[in-house]
A and B are shown apart, each in its own frame.
Chain A
Amino acid sequence: MAKASRPATDAPPERPPASLITRSIEGIGRRVLSGLEDLGRVTHILALALANLFVRPVRVRETLRMMEFVGVQSLPIILLTSAFTGAVFTLQSYRAFAMFGAQAMVGGTVGVALTRELGPTLTGLLVAGRAGSAMAAEIGAMRVSEQIDALDAMAVDPINYLVKPRIVASVLVVPMLTALFDFVGCLGSYAIGVGVLRLSRPEFMVRLRDWVDWDDIWTGLFKALVFGLIIGTVACYKGFYTTGGARGVGLATTSSVVVSSVAILISNFFIAYALP
């Protein structure tokens, strides 16, 4: 019995041109797979950093250096932004409440908004833009100039040396900056509310004290802690997996800010939803 004959060529059979629908589905599939790969790598780098948390050397000096970089060097932008955020929010709230003759509520409203939402979220976004981008750029530059390979070659774990101190510093410092943001924001609100809009000082303070309770403050600080974890992890991840020279460093830096910012905004919703 004769065998079925094959075409007399070794070349693989040509695929028919993909339709628009097929190409679209392939594109979506590629993006999903790429996203899952990114998620896996971020989780992996975070897990390695956590596993290294108490592994010697603990890197106290490097962690303090990063806390100074993330925290102290972010102070001017945090102070400026928080004061003006408190001030502008007071101004807009005053105009809205004035329509109902409820101007006295301004202090409390601004206080709750600052401690629960604006403080942690704006602090997170500012730190992601200033310190997160710099961390991604620094680690990315070290990757493309073989400095991370040099660490490996010298038997120094890059996760322990580079990633752990940055994540720990971000987690510790962002809540501190947030507390400062809340305080200075309230001062800005007080200055405009009492100083410019002539609200009653005792009423402003009473509403602020009565409406803002410890739950609001702890919720905001918890959010800040999560945002710090996001900023440190995403920045280190983007820097650590940088490829492609100077252009790659630029892309990693931009991507670090974008991904951190989006992750902060999304996680903010879920935390707000989960916590009363």
Chain B
Amino acid sequence: MIIDPVTGAPAAIRYEGVHKSFGTNHVLRGLDLIVPRGKITAIIGRSGTGKSVTLKHVMGLLRPDRGEIFLGDVNLMQLNPKALRRVRERFGVVFQNAALFDSMDVFDNVAFPLLEHESFSSDVVRAKVTAALAQVGLSAAVHRLPSELSGGMRKRVGLARALIRDPEFLLYDEPTTGLDPILSAAMDELIYETQQARPALTSVIISHDMKAVLAIADKVAFLVDGRVVHEGTPEYFAQSDDALIRQFLAGSLDGPMKV
């Protein structure tokens, strides 16, 4: 069993020497990362450093040009498309813009994964959706369309949809982007509470919200040019004297990273 040196927890996901290019754009350049089981791992870095690409690889939505990705002991590179689809059923994903289905109301959006993959009766589906929406504080919005929701509400519906099948892994792609500070804090609180309520859940968050990352993450990985250049606990990052980390945390124009 491989143990994550930062948290001491067993590895749930491992990236080993992952390279990925899109045309001439070399996005991931030998990414090595361990995501510990039952913890919140935050991936931080400037825009375009490959954070979202990193997430898409673990769901099998992208295949690396080189390198390997393990989910527990399973090498994702050796799975066929059908097996990859089964792997995806173990994930819940909260997308940057929620990615709710425009043509469905909130209830149908949240119920969608259940209706696709389970054979529950309509009463059970209703009960599960009601509980999921109550958990994210949106019981009153059950029959509203996504276009009638605010950005924060859409993200909370996205979280309810991601949680509805009780996933093993929960991936958040910039969950607070576009929200005001108060809604961001509420979303962070929700992410933290979700993790506390599910000790076995392994969460990965991509975020630029450094305050939230340092408050809720168990492990932080800092990506620069498609590689993890620093990883550690939030305390390590908060106390680090490294010029890259200081510049990124301060959001300063002065430092080794140029615009």
* Residues 143-190 (chain A) with a chain B CB within 8 angstroms: 145-147, 149-150, 152-157
**Distance in Å: Cβ of A161 to nearest Cβ of chain B:** 8
Return 25 A-B CB contacts under 8 Å, by A number: A141-B102, A145-B102, A146-B95, A146-B96, A146-B99, A147-B99, A147-B100, A147-B101, A149-B56, A149-B61, A149-B95, A149-B99, A150-B99, A150-B101, A152-B59, A152-B61, A153-B59, A153-B91, A154-B93, A154-B112, A154-B113, A154-B116, A155-B88, A155-B117, A156-B116
| B interface list, Cβ under 8 A from A | 56, 59, 61, 85-86, 88-89, 91, 93, 95-97, 99-102, 112-113, 116-117
* Cα distance A262–B37 in the bound complex, in angstroms: 55
Chain A residues with Cβ under 8 A from B59's Cβ?
A: 152-153
9 A-B pairs with least C-beta separation? A150-B99, A146-B99, A155-B88, A153-B93, A155-B89, A155-B85, A146-B95, A154-B113, A147-B99
**Distance in Å: Cβ of B193 to nearest Cβ of chain A:** 23
* Cα distance A150–B98 in the bound complex, in angstroms: 9
A152 touches B88 (CB 8 A): yes
A147 touches B116 (CB 8 A): no
Q: Contacts A152-B59, A152-B61, A156-B116; is A146 near B97 (CB within 8 Å)? A: yes
Residue of B nearest to A154 (CB): B113
Among A141, A150, A155, A157, the residue within 8 A (CB) of B95 is A150
* Cα distance A146–B102 in the bound complex, in angstroms: 11
Residue of A nearest to B89 (CB): A155
Chain B residues with Cβ under 8 A from A146's Cβ?
A: 95-97, 99
Listed residue (B61, B91, B96, B116) with the most chain A CB atoms within 10 angstroms of its CB = B116
B85 touches A157 (CB 8 A): yes
* Cα distance A157–B113 in the bound complex, in angstroms: 12
Chain A residues with Cβ under 8 A from B117's Cβ?
A: 155
* Cα distance A142–B99 in the bound complex, in angstroms: 8
